[in-house]
Amino acid sequence: MKINYLGHSCFAIEEDGYRIIFDPYKNGTVPGCGNLDEEADLVICSHGHDDHNAADLIHKREGSPCPFALTTIHSLHDDHGGKLRGTNDITIVRGRLSAAHMGDIGCDLTDEQYALLKGVDVLMIPVGGFFTIDAAAARKMADRIGARVTIPMHYKGKGFGYPVIGKVDQFTKISGNVTYNGSELTVDDSTPVQTAVMEARYWK
């Protein structure tokens, strides 16, 4: 499985030439992130906010059947029952390997939700806080899910990201086996357990 980090919470996952893009952001909505210019067979958006819901900007490819089994887990964008920011969809993609994109998860999960996510190979999880769970909550959640590769998203860095959210090092300093990667990461059966910090392709 090939993982490409495009920026903010936007990722592309590819297996056998079939490409899914998660949570594309609208142009100009995320400070420091350039305009997306990508194609995909399928686009999945976790919720309707502009920094996660620009499916119309992705060039759609047609004709290839989806080789993945997809599971959607309905969750919440905040810890007030959705009253602050609404709902959020978590998506699990299962092919030869499995990956979960947590969207803008804003609260802890139920036991049933954890059971569905348990042991996925790749976990993409927000760590910045304010709009989502923070670094400590993300680390606790990731540990319980037990993915081999955990990729933080939705944080700020030098010149990019919303100023009110936290930096990725708030997550990495409480994580083990931290690796630093480019914008593309290939995961296979031999990939070791790690927290993989990726460099976004569209950071300016």
Which domain, by its residues, includes 93?
2-198
Q: Is residue 174 part of a domain?
A: yes
Residue 77 has pLDDT above 90, yes or no: no
Q: Is residue 52 part of a domain?
A: yes
Helices (H), 68-196: 111-117, 135-145, 169-172
Q: Is residue 203 part of a domain?
A: no
- What single letter denotes the amino acid at residue 41? D
- The per-residue pLDDT for 83 is 64
Q: 85: pLDDT confidence band, cut at 50, 70 and 90?
A: confident
Q: Is residue 151 part of a domain?
A: yes
Q: Is residue 204 part of a domain?
A: no
Residue 91 has pLDDT above 70, yes or no: yes
pTM: 0.96
Closest by CA to 138, choosing from 179, 116, 166, is 166
* Number of domains making up the chain: 1
CATH number of the domain that residue 135 is part of: 3.60.15.10
Q: Is residue 123 part of a domain?
A: yes
Write out pLDDT tens, residues 40-52.
999 999 998 999 9
Residue 170 has pLDDT above 90, yes or no: yes
CA dist 160 → 1, 7, 33, 186 (Å): 27, 9, 6, 25
Residue 149 burial (CB < 10 Å; 0-12/13-18/19+)? buried
Q: Taking a C-beta distance cutoff of 8 angstroms, is the pair 11, 44 a contact?
A: no
With pLDDT > 70 as the criterion, what percentage of the chain qualifies?
100
Q: Is residue 8 part of a domain?
A: yes
Q: Taking a C-beta distance cutoff of 8 angstroms, is the pair 47, 89 a contact?
A: yes
| Residue 4 to residue 194: CA distance in whole angstroms | 16
More confident residue, 77 or 46: 46
Q: Taking a C-beta distance cutoff of 8 angstroms, is the pair 174, 139 a contact?
A: yes
